Amino acid sequence: MIRNYLPSFILLLVFLTGWEAMVRFTEISSLVVPPPSAVFSVLWDGFTTGFLWKHVWVTSATTVIGFLLGCVIGFVCGVILGEIEPLRRLFWPYILAMQVVPKLALAPIFIIWFGFGMKPTVIITALICFFPLLENTMVALDSVTSEKRQLFRMLGAGRWKTLIHLQIPSGLPVILAGVRVAIVLALVGAVVGEFVTGSEGLGASIIAAQGMMDSSLIFALLITITALGLLLYQLVLFFEYWLLSRRVKGKIH
Amino acid sequence: MPNENVFFAIDKASYAFEDGNRVLHDIEWEVPSGAFHCLVGRSGCGKTTLLKLAAGLLQPSSGRISIENQPVLKPSQKVGFVFQTPALLEWLSVLENALLPISLHRRVNEEDRDAARKLLDLVGIADLEARVPAQLSGGQQSRVALVRALVTSPPALVMDEPFAALDAITRDEIQDDLLRLVALNQTTVLFVTHDIMEAVYLGDRVAVVDQGKILSSASISTPRPRDPNCRYDADFAATCQKIRSMMSSNTASAA
């Protein structure tokens, strides 16, 4: 495992060394491209003084709350629209139109409606997560083989039982693929949402650092955001594995 | 004149798809209680549709289907259906799959589990009860589907080419498993296949379906329980040939 990643790690060291050397021994201003050493020292200070922790917390909370809201509402709407044909026909053109609207372009109106701070960012994040869940849930519920549907009819299962005991568990891998897409989009939504609406959070800090021409801080924030994204993605993967593990390896221990 | 001993009664049943394409024409057929009837025919001859009508999954465009003298208006709870594929739920264990017909409607108790285990044991897969379908071979999956269809001890089974995807040796073995299981409670069986040998080995009566009609039928007199080696008897081969000729003669005239 570690051995597999060793070449990648060496590549990183080479890259960082080259970058450091380039900044030190050429005319490039460290204001434009900061050396890695400066970035890491800003990062270190940020976490030891607690300055970064506050923003990490705000962005994490925004991402997770928006993600959960968007996923739950997207899933529920996916079930309702997937199961009730007339409703699907009624809403489909509008859903399609809403999906095409760049959600971040809605930020200004959300600021008017909900003020600055976390609330509009959470709503943008939730909206971004809503669509992959809606679409994947609808596809997933519809993808049950006709033999299994007939089996449930023969067993006297009504619509609700078929949904709970057949369609949702059978579509779970597809639904969870939507969740995986949503978590990545959620972080993008939260950070970019903070560009526009926030006074706190990693996105807002990037804008603040830009104002101060503090490129080291911008790089430090980017590294933090990447780490946060990887962490959240891994958590979702772990959750997915936990839910689906039984189908793969069974209960034999 | 209702007959006490008839389980499935198909009376002048026709079926047409929504586009008006008729797949069954005035089918008349009866399956006595406890009998094992096989329908043989080529792909697309309408035999699967006939099976779905008998089970109540489809309603005839005209004519009547009844089970024990009651008209069949919805999927009948008296009938276990075995499909072309095992159609197991991949997130449930073997035992849970076998108990699905019960667990959908009420809490499973120890008695149900024992009944399912007994059936799993009869088809030789009792030791696999904790596995999930992905860990089973095709033959094992088919056996679970068979146990699932029988776990509530329905008076009848309808089976739609359930063993078509299995290799020849496994198919021979599972045919004997099936005969053993249905002999337990004298289960009535309506079995669809395109394999004439399978039909002759399993059935009391074999009917030939072609282009939406039952052409003719033959009763099979081989005594039960059937000896697996009877497949190699001259009588057996002669019966198969007879049924084969029923199919070919018609195709020749149609072509």
State the complex-level ipTM.
Answer: 0.90
Of all residues in chain B, the one with the smallest CA distance to A161 is B104
Average confidence (pLDDT) over A131-147: 94
Give the separation between CA A172 and CA A143, rounded to whole angstroms: 11
Write down how long chain A is.
253
Residues of chain B neighbouring A156 (CB-CB closer than 8 A): 75, 77, 104-105
Contact status of A158 with chain B (Cβ, < 8 Å): no
* Nearest Cβ partner for B134 among A152, A153, A247: A247
Kindly report whether the peptide bond that precedes residue B32 is cis, defined as omega within 30 degrees of 0. no
Helix, strand, coil percentages in chain B from 3-state DSSP, rounded to 5: 40, 25, 35
Of all residues in chain A, the one with the smallest CA distance to B54 is A154
Give the separation between CA B112 and CA B117, rounded to whole angstroms: 9
Per-chain mean pLDDT for chain B: 90
Contact check, Cβ <8 Å, A169/B89:
yes
pLDDT at A227: 95
Average confidence (pLDDT) over A39-46: 91
Contact check, Cβ <8 Å, B104/A246:
no
Of all residues in chain B, the one with the smallest CA distance to A167 is B89
Average confidence (pLDDT) over B49-65: 93
pTM of the model as a whole? 0.85
Say if CB A122 and CB A69 are below 8 A apart: yes
pLDDT at B250: 57
